[in-house]
Chains A and B, each alone.
Chain A
Amino acid sequence: MKNRLKVLRAERNWSQAELAERLDVSRQAVNAIETGKYDPSLPLAFKIGRLFDLAIEEIFDDGHGDPGNG
């Protein structure tokens, strides 16, 4: 699943470690999500959405929507 996590993180000047700490996951998890190798659970996706103050579909794209346009 594609996502904008890396760009959103960079916009806030957060390293992978900083984002991982805020989400209470490992850096490996952030890396795996950013590179599309791991799809987060719904609770973690909501947590990410709340952290960036965005809806889930504004961050993640399952290939059937238009990410970034809500």
Chain B
Amino acid sequence: MTVTETLAMDDDAPRIGGQIGRVLLIGLTALLAIFGAGVMVGIFMAMIERGGSFDVRTIAILAGTAALVALALWGAVRTTRSLNRAAGTPTTRERRGRIMMFVCVGIGMGIGLVLAIAGPTPEGMFSNAPLPVGIALPLALFIAVPLPVLCYYWHTRVADEQEADAYRTAALLALYAFWIAAPAWWLLWRGGMAPAPDGILLYGLTIVVAGVGWLVAKYR
């Protein structure tokens, strides 16, 4: 193969750098599937607590949610395959990264399902309602113990320096988002213009800002 042919081959292949949309779509469909599964479990648990009778309306909601989950999973798998085809053969670090992603999604789904089952309110996993110690403590340990190990492995064996740079950008954006949102919300609350600051919502904000920042910095 000549130099020109090699360059042309790379130029013809879809640019990895232009894949933000597909990566975002995979993330959104995976989240939709996880939340949909949580909603289904929540409805099941509520029905069982109320005597186990399923009316037509509940069955229709369950069927609709199941269809949505199936569609989201299909979309996630299809988009992942499309992304893999476009990107070609993965390197050792990328293979490690994919395994880690599956592990993390598995942990997330496990936590989400337990919260959906344990959540005594319609909000399910997003509720701030009290949890039994027997559920809250194992879940907290499930996050606090393996996560530092997984993070250490991710940042030493999976992420290369370009991705590490994207993480630094994302972390800085998330830090500023928190530094700005938290005191602003707190002051609005003190002024009677907003509900009390919610730590989990602020946590969610930093996750979203960091996620978008990482995505743009890595795949721009």
Which residues of chain A have a CB within 8 Å of any CB of chain B? 6-7, 9-11, 13-17, 20-21, 24-29, 31-33, 35, 37-38, 40-41, 44
With both chains docked as a complex, state the minimum distance between the C-beta of A5 and any C-beta of chain B, in angstroms: 11
Contact of A25 among B88, B89, B90, B161 (CB under 8 A): B161
* Given the contacts A16-B10, A31-B15, A32-B17, A26 and B160 also touching, CB distance less than 8 Å: yes
With both chains docked as a complex, state the minimum distance between the C-beta of A65 and any C-beta of chain B, in angstroms: 23
Contact of B94 among A10, A15, A26, A37 (CB under 8 A): A26
Q: Count of chain B residues with Cβ under 8 Å from any Cβ of A?
A: 27
Contact A25 B17 (CB under 8 A): no
Contact B6 A35 (CB under 8 A): no
Chain A residues whose CB sits within 8 angstroms of the CB of B218 once the complex forms = 28
Question: What's the dominant secondary structure at chain B's contact region?
Answer: helix
The reply to whether the CB of B201 lies closer than 8 angstroms to some CB of chain A is: no
Chain B residues whose CB sits within 8 angstroms of the CB of A9 once the complex forms = 6
Contact A10 B16 (CB under 8 A): no
Contact of A10 among B7, B15, B90 (CB under 8 A): B7
Contact B6 A29 (CB under 8 A): no
**Apart from A17-B88, A26-B163, 15 more pairs, CB < 8 Å:** A9-B6, A10-B3, A10-B6, A10-B10, A13-B6, A15-B10, A25-B160, A25-B162, A26-B94, A27-B87, A27-B94, A28-B16, A31-B15, A33-B162, A38-B162
With both chains docked as a complex, state the minimum distance between the C-beta of A16 and any C-beta of chain B, in angstroms: 6
Chain B residues whose CB sits within 8 angstroms of the CB of A24 once the complex forms = 92-93, 160
Chain A residues whose CB sits within 8 angstroms of the CB of B89 once the complex forms = 15, 17
Q: B197-219: contact bitstring with A at CB < 8 Å (1 yes, 0 no)?
A: 00000000000000000000011
Contact A21 B17 (CB under 8 A): no
Which residues of chain B have a CB within 8 Å of any CB of chain A? 1, 3-4, 6-7, 9-10, 15-17, 87-94, 97, 160-163, 165, 218-220
Chain A residues whose CB sits within 8 angstroms of the CB of B97 once the complex forms = 26
Q: Which 6 A-B pairs have the closest CB atoms?
A: A29-B162, A25-B160, A10-B6, A10-B3, A17-B89, A20-B91
Chain B residues whose CB sits within 8 angstroms of the CB of A35 once the complex forms = 17
Contact B220 A29 (CB under 8 A): no
Chain B residues whose CB sits within 8 angstroms of the CB of A7 once the complex forms = 3, 7
